[in-house]
Amino acid sequence: MTTPLLELKNVVVTVNAGTAEELNIMDHLNLTINQGDFITVLGTNGAGKSTLFNVIGGDLPITSGQILLNGKDISHLSVEKRTRFLSRVFQDPKMGTAPRMTVAENLLLAQKRGQRRTLLPRKLKQQLPSFEELTATMPNDLHERLNTPTGKLSGGQRQALSFLMATVKRPDILLLDEHTAALDPKTSTDLMRITNQRITEERLTCLMITHHLTDALQSGNRLIVLSHGQIVFDVNGQAKQDLTQEQLYDYFSDLAD
């Protein structure tokens, strides 16, 4: 029997413990993620989507339960150590990149994700041809801005760079946290097309939070819905392909009742 890539077992996250406002923002959640899963994550505001990502990424400690990577308990592993196998793209294009460093310098930094820092020469010039080829896969002329400080890029270019940085060194787990939400419709569509292409070609294991039902239905092999810190809907394969927007709207309406 194949060991899942990542498992969350009976995970609880409690805030305001011991007070009248005590609340489980993650409530005995169980989730099994297999190698190659591309899971779209839906839920209303406050459902626990960001909590889930913060727990997986190590930004939020769990109160009880277990997080297993290839069967090994990583529940208390630091954020820094999790970067060896995990990368994340945030909603805000300003997050995930160094604004004073050039596009090429940011990509070089991303290539060394999870490695120990040394005083060896960085050999940036030798990497420029491969960085130009890589950035040319994006639809917004990012390849013409290799020597531009990231802070001077457009929001779409900066988010495209964040996505490339997250995937240039193949992560075991990729977290996409509403990574197209702050972009205009055309830029969002272009980045989603590249996202689906890259994840499919590289067979990446990915979880993607989105508020766009179309993206949730068209992307990935699996869809989950969170509510009150629990997974209340989990569908994959043909059952996911057969889902319609109307069915999802009806499901969310039932949750709101």
Residue-wise burial string across 59-83, b where 16 or more C-beta atoms lie within 10 A, e elsewhere: ebebeebebbbeeeebbebeeeebb
User: N- to C-terminal Cα distance for the chain?
Assistant: 40
In the chain, the domains with their CATH numbers are: 6-256 (3.40.50.300)
CB of 228 within 8 A of CB of 47?
yes
Task: Quote the CA–CA distance of 73 and 143 in Å, as a whole number.
Answer: 40
CB of 38 within 8 A of CB of 204?
yes
Residue 107, both tokens: 């990509």
Give the 3-state secondary structure of residue 29.
strand
Look at residue 124 in the predicted model and tell me its pLDDT. Answer: 82
Residue pointed to by tokens 């390849």: 143
For residue 230, the cross-strand partners are: 227
For the beta carbon of residue 161, count every other beta carbon within 10 angstroms: 25
Q: Which helix (H) or strand (E) holds 191?
A: helix 185-202
Q: Residue 139 contacts by C-beta under 8 Å, 6 or more apart in sequence? A: 160, 190, 193, 194
Residue 190, both tokens: 């272009």
CB of 90 within 8 A of CB of 166?
no
CB of 79 within 8 A of CB of 58?
yes
The tens-digit pLDDT sequence of the chain (257 residues) is 678 999 999 999 999 988 999 999 999 999 999 999 999 999 988 899 999 999 999 999 999 999 999 999 999 999 999 999 999 999 998 888 999 999 999 999 898 775 555 534 467 888 899 999 999 998 889 999 999 999 999 999 999 999 999 999 899 999 999 999 999 999 999 999 999 999 999 999 999 999 999 999 999 999 999 999 999 999 999 999 999 999 988 887 777 66
CB of 42 within 8 A of CB of 98?
no
Select from 82, 76, 89 the least CA-distant residue to 114.
82
Task: Quote the CA–CA distance of 255 and 98 in Å, as a whole number.
Answer: 40
